[in-house]
């Protein structure tokens, strides 16, 4: 099954797969430098197809099959991509499933189009990581390199070393979600592994404490890492999505 493509108002070309008819549409928002062919995205797509649930997965610009390079991008660009995708390709209520950086993207969508969000599931959500993880963790030499050279290279346990640009840091500051009120007036389920070395459990607790929500739950899975992709973790994600849909439908 080949990807389809959407040209966004900003002139970027976004690759996507859309299936199913029954609402709400479940939208998978992937992590930094991951793509829509990941284990979690494909698992949820198979689950959605089996029940006829409307489902959308896509690649941000600079990711996967979409246009652009990763180094050109930033949180705000990828938010524009996500907003363009759900605006052009879906109608009616949305259930957002955001993994890692996709958790931040899901929160940005919830802030931008709250009237369309029926529920939210986050997997090791990493809101504000450009500031709280990157910038806060940089040495003075790295901070100076960002200001003068315009970029630094970071090693990663999960991928090749990658470039963090000054634009990513500066744009990240314009899109922070933990520094201002964050209203989430719909069911929210957050899952987090205790052995996650990319996003600490403190981040999950901070988001839980910060969000203004009547129905929000955080589930820690002992021993799970950042990938959160073994059979038990995938089943838990599925259960969270179903619970969010069921809560909305029973209201």
User: What tens digit of pLDDT does each residue of 39-58 get?
Assistant: 999 999 999 999 999 999 99
Cα dist. 76→36, 102, 220, 227 in Å? 19, 12, 29, 24
Q: How confident is the model at residue 59 (pLDDT cuts 50, 70, 90)?
A: very high
| Predicted confidence (pLDDT) per residue in 97-144, tens digit | 999 999 999 999 999 999 999 999 999 999 999 999 999 999 999 999
Residue 150 has pLDDT above 80, yes or no: yes
In this prediction, residue 248 carries a pLDDT of: 56
Please state, in angstroms and rounded to a whole number, the distance separating the CA atoms of residues 43 and 234: 7
- Cα gap 236→251, rounded to integer Å: 23
Residue 147 has pLDDT above 60, yes or no: yes
pLDDT band for 31, please (50, 70, 90 cuts). Answer: very high
**How does pLDDT run across 154-192, given as a tens digit for each residue?**
877 666 778 999 999 999 999 999 999 999 999 999 999
> Which of 81, 100, 171, 225 is flagged as catalytic?
100
pLDDT at 154: 84
* pTM of the complete model: 0.96
CATH class, range 4-127+177-246: alpha beta
Decide if 226 is catalytic.
yes
Spell out the alpha helix ranges (H) of the chain. Answer: 39-51, 75-89, 101-112, 129, 136-137, 140-148, 166-174, 201-210, 231-250
DSSP notation for 114-145: GGGEEEEEEES--TTHIIIIIIHH--HHHHHH
Cα Rg, the chain, nearest whole Å = 17
The answer to whether the CB of 49 falls within 8 A of the CB of 78 is no
- Residue 8 pLDDT > 90: yes
pLDDT digits (tens, 9 = 90+) for 210-229: 999 999 999 999 999 999 99
**100 has catalytic annotation:** yes
How high does pLDDT run on average in the chain?
95
d(CA 203, CA 137) in angstroms, rounded, equals 15
The pLDDT value given to residue 201: 95
d(CA 25, CA 18): 10
Q: Confirm whether 63 is a catalytic residue.
A: no
What residue ranges do the domains of the chain occupy? 4-127+177-246
Per-residue confidence (pLDDT) for residue 250, from 0 to 100: 59
Are residues 55 and 95 in contact, defined by beta-carbon separation less than 8 angstroms?
A: no
List 17, 63, 79, 226, catalytic entry: 226
Specify the pLDDT at position 158: 65
Catalytic residue among 59, 81, 196, 225: 196
**Mean pLDDT value of segment 64-88:** 97
């Amino acid at each position: 099954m080949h990807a389809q493509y959407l040209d966004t108002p900003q002139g970027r070309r976004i690759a996507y797969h859309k299936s199913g008819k029954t609402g709400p549409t479940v939208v998978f928002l992937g992590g930094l430098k991951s793509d829509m062919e990941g284990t979690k995205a494909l698992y949820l797509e198979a689950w959605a197809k089996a029940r006829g649930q409307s489902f959308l997965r896509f690649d941000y610009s600079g990711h996967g099959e979409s246009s652009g390079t990763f180094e050109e991008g930033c949180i705000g660009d990828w938010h524009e991509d996500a907003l363009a995708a759900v605006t052009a390709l879906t109608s009616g209520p949305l259930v957002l499933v955001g993994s890692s950086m996709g958790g931040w993207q899901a929160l940005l969508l919830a802030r931008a189009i709250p009237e369309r969000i029926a529920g939210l599931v986050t997997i090791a959500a990493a809101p504000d990581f450009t500031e709280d993880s990157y910038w806060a963790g940089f040495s003075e030499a790295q901070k100076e390199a960002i200001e003068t050279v315009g970029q630094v290279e970071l090693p990663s346990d999960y991928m090749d070393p990658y470039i963090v640009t000054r634009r990513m840091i500066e744009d990240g500051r314009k899109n922070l979600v933990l520094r201002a009120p964050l209203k989430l007036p719909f069911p929210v389920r957050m899952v987090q592994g205790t052995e996650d070395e990319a996003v600490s459990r403190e981040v999950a607790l901070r988001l839980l404490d910060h969000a203004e929500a009547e129905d929000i739950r955080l589930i820690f899975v002992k021993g799970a890492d950042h990938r959160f992709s073994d059979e038990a973790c995938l089943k838990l994600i599925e259960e969270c999505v179903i619970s969010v849909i069921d809560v909305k439908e029973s209201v």
